[in-house]
Amino acid sequence: MIRWTGSPSDSRAGRPGHRKAPYAWPVLCPYCNTDNDKVIDSRSSDAGKVTRRRRECLGCGKRFTTYERVEATAKLMVIKRDGRRVPFDRENIIRGVSSACGKRKIPEDIKQKVADEIEEELHKQFDREVESQVIGEKLMGRLRDIDEVAWIRFASEYYKFKSVDELKKQLELLDGKVRDVKDQQRLFS
Ligand SMILES: [Zn+2]
């Protein structure tokens, strides 16, 4: 997500139809309001978080500067069980899959694919925050398809079962949930 923080007159920037080039769409000239300019210089600062563009108005020929920065809130935050919030990190999903799989041979590209799919889903379904539990359950649903032993291992670690009965109950519940989701997907696809 990109927000413009340049001159007050550049409010039309970012409206899709107004793009000239992917990273250098025209903005309103602060002097004459012309919606047409060329970027004459562009540089990043603050470790790539801010891009400063020097522009020349094609209407009046005057020069002005815009600053483009990545919005800090674009990052999805994960609410942990203890209430702490940490930035979403897809590496945690990879680690989760790896530790659930243990010594079982799961190809690296499958782990990456799981992480990609979950990350994409999360960004579609949640704006700013997501509970870690949601991620855990998504991961569990995926593991079920990849490797049943890994799935059980992950679920038992996740729910910290105190007895085999508890484990069985939860697995039946999860199994049902996974099937429900699949049936729904089938219905709508
Ligand atoms: Zn102008």
Q: How far is the CA of 64 from the centre of ligand 1 (A)?
A: 9
Q: How far is the CA of 69 from the centre of ligand 1 (A)?
A: 23
Question: 150-187 pLDDT, tens per residue?
Answer: 888 888 777 776 777 777 777 777 677 666 666 656 65
Whole-model pTM? Answer: 0.51
pLDDT digits (tens, 9 = 90+) for 103-137: 888 888 888 888 888 988 888 888 889 999 899 88
In this prediction, residue 187 carries a pLDDT of 57
- pLDDT of 3 > 60? The answer is no
| Lowest-pLDDT choice from 11-15, 35-39, 41-45, 130-134 | 11-15
The whole-number average pLDDT for the span 139-156 is: 84
Within 8 A by CB and 6+ apart from 90, the residues are 115, 116, 118, 119
Tell me how far the alpha carbon of residue 153 lies from the centroid of ligand 1, in angstroms. 64
Residue 82: phi, psi to the nearest 5? -85, 5
Q: What is the mean pLDDT of residues 53-80?
A: 85
